[in-house]
Each structure stands twice: as C-alpha cells, then as structure tokens.
Structure 1
Amino acid sequence: MGGDAPLVRERLRELSGPDLYRRNAFRVTGASTCAARRALVRRRQQIATAAKAGVAVGSADAGPEDLRAAFDVLDHPQRRIVDELFWLWDAPDATCPCEPELHRQHDAAVRAHARALEGEVRGPDAARRPAGGPKQHPAGGKKRGPKRPGRGPRRAAGEPQRAAAERRDQLWHSAAQLWRKLLGQRAVWAHLRHRVAALDDKRLTETAVTVLEAEVRRVLVSAVTGLAARTEDPARLARYCAQWRWTGPGLLGEALEEQLTPLYEAAADELREAGDRLAGAFPDGGGKTAATAVAGDLRARVVPVVERLGAFTGLGMSLGVGQLADTTALLLNNCAVALSPASDTAPPDRESFGLLDLALRLKLVRGDAADDRAEPGAAGGGRCLVLDGQAGLRPGRCRAGDGSAATRPEGRAGRGRHPGGRPAVAARTAPPEPGRVRRPAGRPAGRRPALRLDGDPAQQLRARPRLACRR
C-alpha cells in the first residue's frame, strides 16, 4: 500500500458510526465536493467574515471548532477523498466525464441514508417533517363534523405514528438497496480515480481508491450497528441491520459484536455476582430478603440487556446470548421459589408469579445454534447450575428427564470463556423435559427442586417447592 493508505484508514475510522454524514467536512463547510483549492480558501474567508458579523454560514449545528476541523480535513487530499465518497457529487462545478445518472444514483443513496440516520439519532420527525403542520380551518370556514364516538380520536392519534414508521422503514430500505446497487458499478471507482487526478496532489495516489473500495462496506454497516446499544427499539433496528447483510459474510455480525460485547460482559458479571449473593444468603436465613434484592437487580440491569441482545440474534454474532438468557431465567426462577410461601395453604406470592412469567419469557430468547444445544452428561442429561450455599453458582449435572441438578456438583463455577474468546457465563442450563417435576434419586426428603421453566407456574407454586441449594 502507498503512503496515503494510513491517512485514508484513519479518516474512515473517524467517520464510522451513526454520525457518518453529520461529521462530513463538505456538509459542515457547505463546500462542493468538486471545489478547487482556491474555492476552499474563499469559502473559509467567507465563513470567517460572516462569523465576525454574527451571521451563521455553513452547517447550522457546526461551531467554530467543527469548522476549523472540517477545513483541516479538506486541506489534506488523503482525508478529503474519503469525505467526497460520502457526500453529494451532482454539483454545478463538476468536471468528471461520468454519466449524470451515476451522480444522481450516488446522491440518492447518500440522502436516503443520511435522513434515515438523522431520524434515529434525533427522532422520527428529523428525517422528514410534515410541511405546514396540522391542517387549520380559517375563521368562518367550514366547521368539522361531529366526531364518531370511540373511533375518531384513536384513529387521529395513531395515523401520524404509523405514517412516520412507514417513512422510516422506507428510508432504511431505500438506503440499503441504493448503496448496494451503487457499489456494484465500476463507474463509482472510475469517478474517484478521476477525482484523484483532478486534485493533482503528490500526496494522493490511486492507492486511496483501493482502500476505499475495500473498506466502504464496513463503514456503511457501522452506521446502523452503532445504534444497537442505544436504540429504544432493538427489534426494529435489528430489521434494519438485516437489510445490510449484502455487505459481506461476517461483516454485520462483527460490527454488532463490537458494539454489544461490553453489554454482554457486564450482564455476565452481574449474573455471577447475583448468584453468589443469592446462594450465600440461605445459610444465614436471609433468603427472602436476598431474593427480593437480587430479583430487583436482575430486572433493572440484566433483563433489559438480555432482551436487547436477543433482538440481534441470528445476525452473525458469536456471543452466547441463549446461554445468558438461560442463566438469567434460572436465577429469576430461584428467586421466585425463595419468595413462595412455606405453607401449603398460604396463597402464592404475587411477585413469584411475575418472576416466573419473566423467566418463561427469557427462555424464548435464544442465541446461536451452538449455544442452544445442551451439553450431554454422563447419565444422558445436560449441565445446569446448582446453587451452593457456600460456593455460589456451581455447574452440576442434570439427570435424564429431570430439570434439577444432581446432589454432586462438579466444582466451583469459574469465569468461562466463550468459543469466540470472550468471557461467558460458566455453566449452561438444559431446557427441562415437559411434564411433572420429579425428585431425582438420592435427593434428601423434604428438599424439592426449583421451579421448572415450563408447565403451569401456579400449580408449581402450590406444590410448595424449595430452593435447590447445598448447605
């Protein structure tokens, strides 16, 4: 690679993410992508003069530092060529021999993608605001007819949201398809090679175009995956992510994993700590108090992360999302057991029902195929977690046809490693076989297994199950 490749890659990293277009130097300065060096100098002077007079020139949300940084980018051809790729080509001063249709297709892709991202970052109204706002009747004009009872207000309230959602979906679909069609044309790279020659700077060679061709798909994917950790609607964003699978095998999953791994590791750490707290409380007789506190922490800090991660399963990530969901469901299940009444005649605790419903819901959050498979045990069962009063969560052996752990644990649960090389929850839980809860052979009388993650929760609570823990 030539000497300009490092600067090109550096600028690509700077633009990667949801602010791909907002930070573009041509957008910030308002200059044309075909502007010569003299034109840029004049533009800089115009902005400086206008700033002294208190007149805003260029991007409305750009401050003095943003303008200075943008002009610095345009002064370096190796960085400028990157911003040219991600801004408008159909300019009056364009001198390239390209077909006008190529410029129109490129600009349509840029505009659709920029508007879609703007709608996610600044709200749905930022992408396209209704012109004129709600319809107003002039004084003395025709009055509104009587509202239909029960239907008028609801319909009026729902239509704008549906229309905004449809516009947003259409923008994302158009952006993905337009960029896909555009990058399949060799004329795109011929245009950039012409721009390299037109800039006529010894610091810039055609190596920069080679780097752009290799990295452009990764940058485009980063714009949508960069929203994965902060979007308010992960399921909807996952649909938008799926529209960019054409960028290449593994590219989408890698980008998502880079954004979501910190959340995954934080949730795994929370689960290990919650398991230790729940197990250590029972020898001291504080089981219900600990279960209430642990359940509250799981609801607030772990369950939202598991549900967010679950929305992006099936998109190529190697994170063990299914394993994380299973372990969370198991701890919620054990909290529900600890909060259940000790008497057969006492009514079940309402909080136990809520925790069981949440555990059953998380059981549906599954990860990749390898994460879904239970590890076979020596007796034909799978691995599950045993709540040990002294050692915390420990991996144990589930007997065949039974959803509870054997009384012989296999050792303290350590900080396991996921096949992808990242920390993972140490043990897996095998989905229990549907049917009645059976006590495994060798379990002491009066020691019942924890609630199953299938079947009727009310029936299981009436059976007065106890928390499966070792004293």
Structure 2
Amino acid sequence: MKESPARFADLAGLRLYRRNIFAVTGLPVAAQGPAVRRHRQRLDARLAVEETWAGDAAAPAPDGYRREEVRYAFEEFQDPRRRLVDELLWFWRDADLGCGCAPATHEQHDEAVRVHSQAIEAETGGTGPRGDGPNRSWRAAATAWASVLENPDLRGHIAHRITALADPRLDGYSPDDFLAGVPGLLLSPFGELAADRSARPRLAEVSAGWSKYPVFATPLPDVFENTVEQSVDRLKDALRTAGERHQAGEHADALAALEQRVLPAYAEFESLKGFVSQSRSEEMAHTVTVALNNVALGVCEAGLQKPFRSTLIEVMEHASRIAPRRDKAQIDQNLAAVRLGRAGAGAAQQLKPSECAGCVVLLLAIVGGVIGGITGGPAWAVGIIVGGFVLAGMFAS
C-alpha cells in the first residue's frame, strides 16, 4: 500500500516547514545510515541536559525543538516514503545526491523553499518581511514552485532518490506518486489562514495569483473547502430556523432570527466569496434574498409593519443589496412598498426559491430544442423541449 500521502497530511498547514524532519534534526538531505545514527546519539545526549535545540540553521522555529519533537522526527526519518516527501520540501543545498540534475535545478528548488517558508513566517509573526512582504513572498513562491514542478529534471531527481535510498518499501513507487500531493501541500497554509476573516480579501487575491499556474489551479478550491462548507452549514441552519418560525406564524421571532443569525452568517459567507464559484455564490445570495423578503412580507401581512417598520426596511435594504439580477427588480419593488407602508395590502410579492431555477431550465430547454431541431431533426427538438417542461414543473412543485 502506498503511504506517502499520509505524510502530506502530517505536514499540511502553517507548520509545513517547521515540522520538516530535516529542519528538526539538522541533517542534510543526503544523510544515511551510520551518519544518521551518530547524529541522533549526539542529540539525545544534548537534549538530556538541555530543553531544546535549534535544529537546522534555516529552520523556522525561533524557540527551537524539544526532545519529543526531535525523537519523533528521527522516527519519521526511518520510513523512506515519508522521508522523501520531506526531502522535496527542504533545502538540497550543495549535497552530492548523484541525481544528475543541472545545478540550476537545485538552486531553483532551494529558492522556492526559501520564499515559500518566508511567506508563511511573515503571516504567522515569524521572521519574514512585514507590510506588503507576505504578498510579495507568496507571489514569488508561486512562480518559483510552479517552475520547479514543471521542470522535467524533477522527476528524474525523484526517480534517482528512490533508487539511491534502496529500501524495499519504495518498490513500485514512481516520481508521480510523490509529486501528486506536493501542490496541495504547498497550498495548505491558505486553509489555516482563511480562518482569520480579516485576512480573507487579501488571501483571495494572493491565491488567485497561484491559480494562474495550472499545477495549482485544480487543488486550490479544495484548500478552502472545509472553511466554506462550515460557513454554508451555519448559514443553512440559520435560514432553517428563520423559515420554521416564519411558517409557524411566529413573525417577530422569524425577524429576530434574520437579524441575529441569518445576516451575520451571510456576512461570514460573503467574506469567503473569493474562494467560491460564482454560480454557488449567486445561488446562496438568491436563497438568502428570498428568506429576507418572505419573512419581512410575512410580518407586514400579519399587520405588524408599524412596530417593526425600521427593522423591516433594514432587512429589505439588505435583500436589495445582495439580490442577484434575477431577483433585483422584484425586491426593489417590495422595498418601495415596505417604505410606503403598503406591503401588507398586497402591493409586494413573496418569492419562491424554485421559480427562477425553473424559468432558467425552461429557457435552456427551448434554446436546446431549437439547436437540436437544426442538428438532429424535429424528434430531437420535441424531446428536449418536453424534457425541459418536465424539469421546470419539478422545480415549480
């Protein structure tokens, strides 16, 4: 069983370089056999009387490493599958690896490690640059790592290291088995950084710079998936609460749920728009717009617009601000009715979340039917259009 991805998960996040076994132990990437054992014995003796040791000179760990961390790193070192992942993410320097790479390949790799580590440290309050420094370092890291991963020498380098380590546990492995997880690992710090809401607009801009490179474009959305899904779940839960109270005729409670839960949850989701597809972002905006509109109008229809007038206007103004184009005209009309105090008299209309989707499906079916008729004949046209009406009916129901 190929286990290298397990090491990708262990290293993922802001401690990507701090956890690296070569950073922790201070061993060069070419170290093997007796040299590793002797170094471990020296460190065991040292850490028996000292609390920490500094690790590699380039290790981003200003407080050093404790005995338990060093011991764990040496244990990881014993597995060549895990070791090889750490080799890819640490400085090769002038180690004689016998891989036959051009010197420029190793220099390019080490520069990528340096600027990427610098970007992470700048974000976490380490020794990296301040001001616009993190952004510059992120851009430099994206360019450097994209060049490294696209360099054909890299696969030859890994193939040689698999042979040089000469361990049966590497039998059946190819360079791609190790390279497959590297782009996601390099992007993994963004997932942790996105937990800071104030950093999200800048992170969206920075990560967009990484997405310009094909090697990073595919795994990038997965980096933010957990953060986005947690936000969506909170929003759906808030909408469910408001909807249940609205359906039960508990209009004041439904309005309170909008103010206290739905609007804050949607603000949280909005801060993640840079990491969400446009279609999903628009659909969530539509769902929230419908909820705001219908709860507000339910309050009006219950004859409660006077005591809640200011809140109703605020809710409808929010709905107008976030409404997708398909909802905008109706929402603005309803907002005007609320402002004039006429919403309870039937001047405003409630919306159904499925109506717009059904209309879109029907429109696409008609267009598809025309094209199908031209290319495949009348039978195709009829089949597509009838299918569209069926789907539209499903949405409307």
How does the TM-score come out when normalised to structure 1?
0.63
Query: What displacement does 1:93 show?
Result: 5.9
What's the % identity of the aligned pairs?
A: 29
- Per the alignment, do residues 455 and 109 of structure 1 end up closer, same or farther by CA in structure 2, a change over 3 Å counting? farther
Query: What displacement does 1:174 show?
Result: 0.7
Matched, 1:272 2:268: no
Q: Tell me the distance in 1 between the aligned counterparts of 2:198 and 2:290.
A: 26
Tell me the equivalent position of 2:144.
178
Tell me the equivalent position of 1:295.
259
Matched, 1:87 2:59: no
- Per the alignment, do residues 64 and 329 of structure 1 end up closer, same or farther by CA in structure 2, a change over 3 Å counting? farther
Q: Tell me the distance in 2 between the aligned counterparts of 1:113 and 1:214.
A: 18
Which region of structure 1 is more displaced relative to structure 2, 250-259 or 168-177? Answer: 250-259
| Aligned equivalent of 1:9, options 5, 8, 24 | 5
Report the 3-state secondary structure (helix = DSSP H, G, I; strand = E; otherwise coil) of the residue aligned with 1:268.
Answer: helix
Contact 1:337-1:465 within 8 A present in 2 as well: yes
Match of 1:47, as an amino acid? Answer: L
Tell me the equivalent position of 1:330.
290
Query: What displacement does 1:269 show?
Result: 2.7
Query: What displacement does 1:20 show?
Result: 2.5
- Per the alignment, do residues 339 and 15 of structure 1 end up closer, same or farther by CA in structure 2, a change over 3 Å counting? same
Q: Tell me the distance in 1 between the aligned counterparts of 2:4 and 2:174.
A: 6
More contact order relative to length (CA 8 Å, sep ≥ 6): 1
Q: Tell me the distance in 2 between the aligned counterparts of 1:459 and 1:119.
A: 52
Q: Tell me the distance in 1 between the aligned counterparts of 2:320 and 2:7.
A: 46
| Aligned equivalent of 1:360, options 317, 320, 329 | 320
Report the 3-state secondary structure (helix = DSSP H, G, I; strand = E; otherwise coil) of the residue aligned with 2:248.
Answer: helix
Query: What displacement does 1:67 show?
Result: 2.0
Contact 1:26-1:87 within 8 A present in 2 as well: yes
Residues matched between the structures, number: 337
Tell me the equivalent position of 2:386.
none
Query: What displacement does 1:85 show?
Result: 0.4
Tell me the equivalent position of 2:276.
313
Query: What displacement does 1:23 show?
Result: 2.0
Contact 1:268-1:324 within 8 A present in 2 as well: no
Match of 2:110, as an amino acid? Answer: D
- Per the alignment, do residues 338 and 359 of structure 1 end up closer, same or farther by CA in structure 2, a change over 3 Å counting? same
- Per the alignment, do residues 462 and 343 of structure 1 end up closer, same or farther by CA in structure 2, a change over 3 Å counting? farther
**Equivalence map 1:227-246=2 (5 Å):** 227-245=193-211, 246=214
| Aligned equivalent of 2:267, options 270, 295, 304 | 304
Matched, 1:463 2:341: yes
Tell me the equivalent position of 1:126.
126
Deviations 1:339-361, CA, capped at 9 Å, x for gaps: 779699x7984434433343333
The structure carrying a bigger helix percent of its residues is 2
**Alignment gaps of 5+ in structure 1:** 130-163, 365-371, 373-429, 434-451
**Equivalence map 1:134-145=2 (5 Å):** none
Q: Tell me the distance in 2 between the aligned counterparts of 1:116 and 1:33.
A: 23
Contact 2:21-2:74 within 8 A present in 1 as well: yes
Deviations 1:191-219, CA, capped at 9 Å, x for gaps: 22232333233332472423013332233
Match of 1:278, as an amino acid? Answer: H
**Alignment gaps of 5+ in structure 2:** 56-60, 351-397
**Equivalence map 1:96-245=2 (5 Å):** 96-120=99-123, 122=124, 125-126=125-126, 128=128, 164-205=130-171, 207-245=173-211
Q: Tell me the distance in 2 between the aligned counterparts of 1:288 and 1:257.
A: 35
Contact 2:18-2:24 within 8 A present in 1 as well: yes
- Per the alignment, do residues 47 and 350 of structure 1 end up closer, same or farther by CA in structure 2, a change over 3 Å counting? farther
Tell me the equivalent position of 1:422.
none
Matched, 1:32 2:28: yes
**Equivalence map 1:344-383=2 (5 Å):** 349-363=309-323
- Per the alignment, do residues 90 and 357 of structure 1 end up closer, same or farther by CA in structure 2, a change over 3 Å counting? farther
How does the TM-score come out when normalised to structure 2?
0.73
Match of 1:67, as an amino acid? Answer: V
Contact 1:231-1:237 within 8 A present in 2 as well: no
| Aligned equivalent of 1:431, options 323, 327, 333 | 327
Tell me the equivalent position of 2:365.
none
Match of 1:358, as an amino acid? Answer: H
